[in-house]
Amino acid sequence: MSKQLEVNKLSVSFGKVNVINDISFSLAAGRIGCILGPSGCGKTTALRTIAGFQQPTKGYVLLGNKQISSPQKSLPPEKRNIGMVFQDFALFPNLTVADNIRFGLRNWTTDAQQKRIDELLELIGLKHLATAYSHQLSGGQQQRVALARAMAPKPDILLLDEPFSSMDIDLREQLAREVRNILKQENITAILVTHDQHEAFVMADEICVMHDGIIQQHDTGYNLYHKPANKFVADFIGQGVIITGEAIDTGKIKTELGIIEGSTPEGCQPGCKVDVLIRPDDVIHDDESNEQAIIIDKAFKGAEFLYTLRTRTGVEVLCLAPSHHNHQINESIGIRLDIDHLVVFKQ
């Protein structure tokens, strides 16, 4: 598969503040990528640089084989053939749904325009609302129109800036799935920017986790969860706590919760200090265990309880337990570790 987008050693700064620091990644045609990170990590700036609303201070961006952004030459957004879906959708309130979609098709013949509009309205399931104005639509409908409008001119890449953030939380995953299906049907290369990992997991084929203007890890969702590249990713993706430990032998780590078996990081000799990621599902509630912990908080999750526990030594860990194990706060329960994918970092 050919590279549709390549970002090479890109840096962006506002005045003296470096917002993006030397990031590189690429995306193959037809893939959906995601830049995931907490707010202020530089993800939106990265997207806006790709779109052309921001100039890079270093590095370059290639779209197809064309260089579109570099400190020397930056193609204006309107010359890039990109599509963009905005956080607030930015539908033109003076135009109907159909005319919003038509907006980017001005160089097409009228027939071609109409065909494309019909096709997209069909795709997003809003054929009956072609002549409606944006304020007459629900949030989800507005979003689909925004998507259709961005896709209409068949852009080389579609950029989605937090497209679900103004939606009800319950709707987000469902909408993300819908959008993914639409993109896949049109075989569009896309980049999604979000702070919500669930959205990212549902929509994206591959995810860049970004923090402090740097890409921390570029991988699939599964790998981000199970094989985080560093402590930040481990902490940011999924739930869990990091406890300290000490390698006592190859493949053995001594922690306050007992000895854990698994591979130790490279170059870690016995005696070196490590951090171990403990996910809630790694901590098993076991009344038989000698290891006791006090429940300091609990949250009901339907089939499970998520307990926050404090061990004897004062370490806090999370524990996911089937919900028939209903214990009270301040009660002491037995736990043990059962780790499938050990995530451990050298300190």
Contact flag: residue 221 with other proteins (CB under 8 A)? no
Distances (CA, A) of 137 to 130, 220, 275: 11, 35, 50
Contact flag: residue 134 with other proteins (CB under 8 A)? yes
Determine the interface stretch with other proteins among 19-27, 31-39, 48-56, 254-262 (rule: CB under 8 A): 48-56
Size of residue set near other proteins by CB under 8 A: 31
Q: What is the DSSP letter of 282?
A: G
Contact flag: residue 106 with other proteins (CB under 8 A)? yes
Q: How far apart are CA 151 and CA 159, in angstroms?
A: 10
Contact flag: residue 16 with other proteins (CB under 8 A)? no
Residue 256, C-beta contacts closer than 8 angstroms, at least 6 positions apart? 243, 244, 245, 311, 313, 315
| CB neighbour class for 11 (10 Å; exposed up to 12, middle 13-18, buried from 19) | middle
Determine the interface stretch with other proteins among 89-97, 231-239, 241-249, 274-282 (rule: CB under 8 A): 89-97
Q: How far apart are CA 44 and CA 37, in angstroms?
A: 10
Name the minimum Å distance from CB 14 to other proteins.
Answer: 12
Determine the interface stretch with other proteins among 28-36, 71-79, 283-291, 301-309 (rule: CB under 8 A): 71-79
Tokens linked to 126: 């809003």
Q: How far apart are CA 299 and CA 294, in angstroms?
A: 15
Determine the interface stretch with other proteins among 47-55, 122-130, 224-232, 337-345 (rule: CB under 8 A): 47-55
Name the minimum Å distance from CB 28 to other proteins.
Answer: 22
Contact flag: residue 83 with other proteins (CB under 8 A)? yes
Name the minimum Å distance from CB 173 to other proteins.
Answer: 24
Identify which of residues 90 and 315 has a Cβ nearer to other proteins in the complex.
90
Contact flag: residue 108 with other proteins (CB under 8 A)? no
Name the minimum Å distance from CB 189 to other proteins.
Answer: 15
Name the minimum Å distance from CB 253 to other proteins.
Answer: 49
Q: Which of 11, 21, 53, 167 binds other proteins (CB under 8 A)?
A: 53
Q: Which of 29, 75, 90, 242 binds other proteins (CB under 8 A)?
A: 90
Which amino acid type is present at position 128?
H
Residue appearing with tokens 């986790």: 209
What own/partner pairs with CB < 8 Å and gap ≥ 24 does 224-227 have? Answer: 226/341, 226/343, 227/341, 227/343
Name the minimum Å distance from CB 128 to other proteins.
Answer: 18
Q: How far apart are CA 125 and CA 141, in angstroms?
A: 9
Contact flag: residue 92 with other proteins (CB under 8 A)? yes
Distances (CA, A) of 293 to 65, 297, 308: 58, 12, 9
Query: 280 φ, ψ to 5°?
Result: -55, -35
Contact flag: residue 14 with other proteins (CB under 8 A)? no
CB atoms near residue 131 (< 10 Å): 10
Name the minimum Å distance from CB 146 to other proteins.
Answer: 8
Contact flag: residue 149 with other proteins (CB under 8 A)? yes
Q: Which of 33, 56, 59, 153 binds other proteins (CB under 8 A)?
A: 153
Q: How far apart are CA 231 and CA 236, in angstroms?
A: 8
Determine the interface stretch with other proteins among 77-85, 238-246, 323-331, 335-343 (rule: CB under 8 A): 77-85
Which amino acid type is present at position 132?
A
Residue 23 near residue 34 (C-beta atoms within 8 A): no
Q: Which residues bind other proteins (CB under 8 A)?
A: 51-53, 76-84, 86-90, 92-94, 103-104, 106-107, 133-135, 149-150, 153, 159
